[in-house]
Chain A
């Protein structure tokens, strides 16, 4: 109970505070940058900037047809663990209660059996993603400690959550504390590593879309 009290108390408060601080630091830092100077007029008939940005954000969610076949596996697997994480984080009732305690709003959750199934699928998908990263020569070459740490800190909360639910390993309260502490580690790393793509992908894709649109590229 002491470990659980520490996890639910100081550890959680500290990690959520670091998360908020880091995310705002990076987002405000990017959004408050000066607008890119436009040294050339936009190509005739090009879409307005906002439309180019939105088009890029959504169209890049599916690989271009040229690469669709080659990238099918990584695309599908990526969607599996991203949706899985979304379901587990936002539709498991104890998680909803945690979010309600922060934001004051709640929504209906899913039965535990569904969450456990999705959680297991997510964990499997993450393991497959790691295996692919380790076996693909190109991906292995461009992978850095940042990538592996981001993977580990995403996988640990899923694994410890499943273990707590299934009563595998230490006593439940210890496993629950480890689960919360793994989430704390995730939150602390989030703003400073590649996990920040959860926010930055919108800005980077939008900026790319605007530049391409400006030059008249079809997005």
Chain B
């Protein structure tokens, strides 16, 4: 039943919004993994980010795509919790629960264990639209557990203009999705995180974007 509802939600609601109302310019879609485990790392400006990333995969893979999302936000009431975990299929993370990192990320590790593809936004929240915030290093913890795991950096542009944080009105713009080459664990957390930030910035530099102030 959930499987059916999820399929309907993406085919009937998400895809028409993403492809007709918005419209995507995708570069190097072929670099996206065709199977898990893998992690997609993207910059985060809008609720649309997750939706757009999920539509990039074939529908047969949909149940394997697991956005990592804040439990305090996406599980805050029963309906939202049902929607987030059953329809979208998020892996909830307790951002401020304290405790040690491996406990916080246990759900994400379990998902990787069963061959899922995680969607991760290392900025932690959507933040200021169309600005890249500082990356949190949770992704590094995941990769230390699976050093072979491919990390695919993706740069998204325009979705923060279409639906920024705190707005409910969607305004159409063409949006860009630039997929980078797979990136791997460097053996050291600091260089790994710096490398990942550089990858996203390098993808961003490929585009020519109009100013939005």
State whether these chains interact: no
Chain B contacts to A: CB under 8 angstroms: none
- Chain A: residues with CB nearer than 8 A to chain B? none
